[in-house]
């Protein structure tokens, strides 16, 4: 069997990244790990995010993956350098591909970024965007309530609209023409955000950005070999499956719960 692509996220939201990668690489086997026992990572400290990310990466590295995709923006923002020390296989996070797409898209160099508290606090997007486009003006805003709203399935609910209006009001006088959706869950709120931004701002979806970037690293093959994706979670397969269904349109299988703290610690 072909070596799989490994993807991890703090939970179920990274399935937006899985979906974009699957669409781009239908003949690849993918192993997905969602750390549903310890989600959310967004409000946690840098040390904890790094510790959890290393454990997640180690779990996938045991599965003979050929490339590791860090779907979680918060892990990508905070832990990527530490993860790169673990292995020689390519490790890609969402920050650089998303930043590249944002700099390609902007015409007035005013770029907005939304993400979890951890992602925004790290300034990872600011640094990555500035390294490509030094004259960029970046305006960032943490939107922590978006994650639970998406997990509740409230994609177009009045409550989500009020919350989104409140957060996005920050951008009213910033004249941004591009907004990075710097969190796994935010692509699911795309149409709501687009409406609130009056369809005037280009929305950068980090899931699409990473799939596009992967195409520069991995040839797209058409193979007749059967494809087998596998899904692992650290807690509550049933809840994962339920939210996964509205992200993917189908329930993913097989889903297996793996025990934390047994084999992962040295």
Beta-sheet strand order (sheet of 30-34): 91-93, 67-70, 5-9, 30-34, 230-233, 255-257
Among 234, 226, 231, smallest CA distance to 263 is for 234
Coil/strand/helix, residue 222 = coil
Nearer to ligand DGL, 37 or 61 (CB): 37
120, 180, 183, 214: which one is catalytic?
183
13 binds ligand DGL (CB under 6 A): yes
In contact, 246 and 153? CB cutoff 8 Å:
yes
Tokens of 57: 């990466």
* From 111, 138, 183, 211, residue interacting with ligand DGL (rule: CB under 6 A): 183
In DSSP notation, 123-143 reads: THHHHHHHHH-TT-EEEEEE-
Give the x/- contact pattern for ligand DGL in 42-61, rule: CB under 6 A: x-------------------
> Which residues, at least 6 apart from 86, have a Cβ–Cβ distance to it below 8 Å?
54, 57, 58, 61
* 141 tagged catalytic: no
* From 50, 60, 72, 210, residue interacting with ligand DGL (rule: CB under 6 A): 72
17, 57, 72, 209: which one is catalytic?
72
Binding-residue total with ligand DGL (CB under 6 A): 17
Q: What is the DSSP letter of 94?
A: S
Give the x/- contact pattern for ligand DGL in 80-119, rule: CB under 6 A: ------------------------------------x--x
The distance of closest approach from Cβ of residue 117 to ligand DGL in the complex, given in angstroms and rounded to an integer, is: 8
Element (H, E) at 93: strand 91-93
Q: What is the DSSP letter of 18?
A: H
Nearer to ligand DGL, 29 or 36 (CB): 36
* From 4, 8, 9, 210, residue interacting with ligand DGL (rule: CB under 6 A): 9
CA atoms within 13 A on the CB side of 56: 38
Q: CB under 6 A: which stretch of 10-18, 82-90, 152-160, 164-172 binds ligand DGL? A: 10-18
Tell me which residues touch ligand DGL (CB under 6 A).
9-11, 13, 39-42, 72-74, 116, 119, 147, 183-185
């Amino acid at each position: 069997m072909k070596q799989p692509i490994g993807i991890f996220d703090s939970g179920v939201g990274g399935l937006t990244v899985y979906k974009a990668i699957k669409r781009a690489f239908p003949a690849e086997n993918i192993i997905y790990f969602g750390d549903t026992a310890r989600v959310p990572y967004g409000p946690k400290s840098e040390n904890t995010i790094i510790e959890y990310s290393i454990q997640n990466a180690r779990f996938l590295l045991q599965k003979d993956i050929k490339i590791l995709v860090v779907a979680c923006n918060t892990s990508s923002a905070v832990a990527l350098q530490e993860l790169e020390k673990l292995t020689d296989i390519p490790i890609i996070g969402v920050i650089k591909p998303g930043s590249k797409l944002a700099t390609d898209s902007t015409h007035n160099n005013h770029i907005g970024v939304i993400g979890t508290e951890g992602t925004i606090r790290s300034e990872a997007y600011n640094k990555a965007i500035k390294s490509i486009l030094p004259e960029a003006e970046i305006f960032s805003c943490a939107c922590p309530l978006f994650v639970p709203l998406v997990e509740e399935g409230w994609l177009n609910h009045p409550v989500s609209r009020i919350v989104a209006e409140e957060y996005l009001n920050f951008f009213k006088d910033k004249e941004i023409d591009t907004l990075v959706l710097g969190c796994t869950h935010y692509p699911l709120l795309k149409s709501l955000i687009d409406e609130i931004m009056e369809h005037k701002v280009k929305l950068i979806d980090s899931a699409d950005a990473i799939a596009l970037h992967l195409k520069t690293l991995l040839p797209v093959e058409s193979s007749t070999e059967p494809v087998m994706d596998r899904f692992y979670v650290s807690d509550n397969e049933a809840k994962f499956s339920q939210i996964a269904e509205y992200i993917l349109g189908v329930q993913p299988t097989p889903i297996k719960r793996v025990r934390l703290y047994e084999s992962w610690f040295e």
